Amino acid sequence: MKDKIIITTGDPNGIGAEISIKALNKLDLPVSDVVLVSNPAVIDFYGKLNKNYEIIEIPYKKNDIQPGKVTAQAGEFSFQSLKKACELKGRAIVTAPVAKNALHLAGHNFNGQTEILQKYLAHDGQLAEMLFVAGNFRVLLLTRHCALKDIALTKELVIEKITNLHGFFVEKLGIKEPKFALCGFNPHSGEDGILGTEEIEILQPAVEVLREKGVDITNPLPADTLFVNYFKDSYDCYIANYHDQGLIPIKTVAGSKTVNMTIGLDVIRTSPGHGTAFDIAGKNLADETGMIEAIKAVL
């Protein structure tokens, strides 16, 4: 499997199978390049593949397919599909969206697929990181899916994550001297401590250490204006402190072309930047653009 792209179809009650089918039919990839982790009943329910791609079968009953519903059965299927994708050791993994509440109903208390990937693929202290990509517009999240009140940045965490990001750009993307822009944590980057001290106590000290390690990175800059001129700036990646700080700008600009890329592990994983869209599941209305971009990102 090491030369194949492993594709999961996500929650069987969402749009994952539909966009996977549509994307593969449009891309028309060689059969030898792709393996689907899914179930024939799920595939047949949502459409028809133009090619006879290999399907690694995860058990699921046709009667359990309930478009738009959150069920434990769907959560179990989603979890087992991703776990199997990790076991197959392909050259890349592309995942269709899953529902976190369905995963939890099935007893798998993960905050997302990134955390599952880290559990089954990480070794020797590796950390899975969320890098969102739309062409040359890239945003790394220092923290992932957590409540704002639970964000716990430390100097050490910031240094580790940005050091890993630098290594990814150099080793995987071939950008030898990447330039990074760092978002401040607080409004106006804290206004010299008036609006918060994270910049003074955590971010700026981390920046000084990173520069000593050869990383080209800005001081913490006000996030409300940092992204305004992204198309003019020469930054290779913006670094956001938390989920919405980074995803609102890139999704506003790139919309459905935004790709969620998991880096830091031996295998790169990509996924559309959207969710399960339960409201349109089973209606043949889903736009496959995000899935196409996710697959193209690993070709």
Domain count, the chain: 2
Q: What rounded mean pLDDT belongs to the chain?
A: 95
Q: Does 231 have pLDDT greater than 90?
A: no
Work out the pLDDT band at 144, boundaries 50, 70, 90: confident
Count of Cβ atoms closer than 10 Å to residue 56 Cβ: 17
**What are the tokens at 141?**
């999240």
| Alpha-carbon span 180 to 137, nearest angstrom | 12
Percent of the chain past pLDDT 90, that is, above it, reads: 93
Handedness of CA 192, 194, 195, 201 (dihedral sign): positive
What are the tens digits of pLDDT across the range 40-80?
A: 999 999 999 999 999 999 999 999 999 999 999 999 999 99
Residues spanned by the domain of 203: 129-264
pLDDT tens-digit readout, 9-19: 999 999 999 99
83 and 12 inside one domain: yes
Confidence (pTM): 0.91
Helix runs in 54-136, H state only: 72-88, 100-105, 113-121
**Are 43 and 151 within one domain?**
no
Q: Which burial class, exposed, middle or buried, applies to 141 when counting CB atoms under 10 A from its CB (0-12, 13-18, 19+)?
A: buried
Q: Are residues 148 and 257 in the same domain?
A: yes
Is residue 23 over pLDDT 80? Answer: yes
Residue 2: predicted pLDDT: 82
Tokens encoding 247: 């995803």
- Residue 296 CB neighbour total at 10 angstroms: 15
Q: Once rounded to an integer, what is the mean pLDDT over residues 167-172?
A: 94
Same domain (yes/no): 235, 279: no
Q: Is the pLDDT of residue 233 over 80?
A: no
Residues 103 and 180 in one domain: no
Give which of 73, 69, 84 is closest to 14, Cα–Cα: 69
- 284 and 199 share one domain: no
Residues 135 and 192 in one domain: yes
Q: What is the percentage of the chain residues whose pLDDT exceeds 70?
A: 100
User: Does residue 147 sit in the same domain as residue 257?
Assistant: yes
Q: What is the predicted pLDDT for the residue at 77?
A: 98
Between 229 and 35, whose confidence is greater?
A: 35
Same domain, 53 and 178: no
Based on the fold, state whether residues 40 and 58 are members of the same structural domain: yes
CATH of the domain at 163: 3.40.718.10
Q: Are residues 188 and 272 in the same domain?
A: no
pLDDT digits (tens, 9 = 90+) for 250-286: 999 998 899 999 999 999 999 999 999 999 999 999 9
Task: Identify the CA nearest to 247 among candidates 14, 212, 155, 238.
Answer: 238
Based on the fold, state whether residues 186 and 81 are members of the same structural domain: no
pLDDT at residue number 229: 80
User: What pLDDT was estimated at residue 236?
Assistant: 96
Q: What is the reported pLDDT for 230?
A: 79
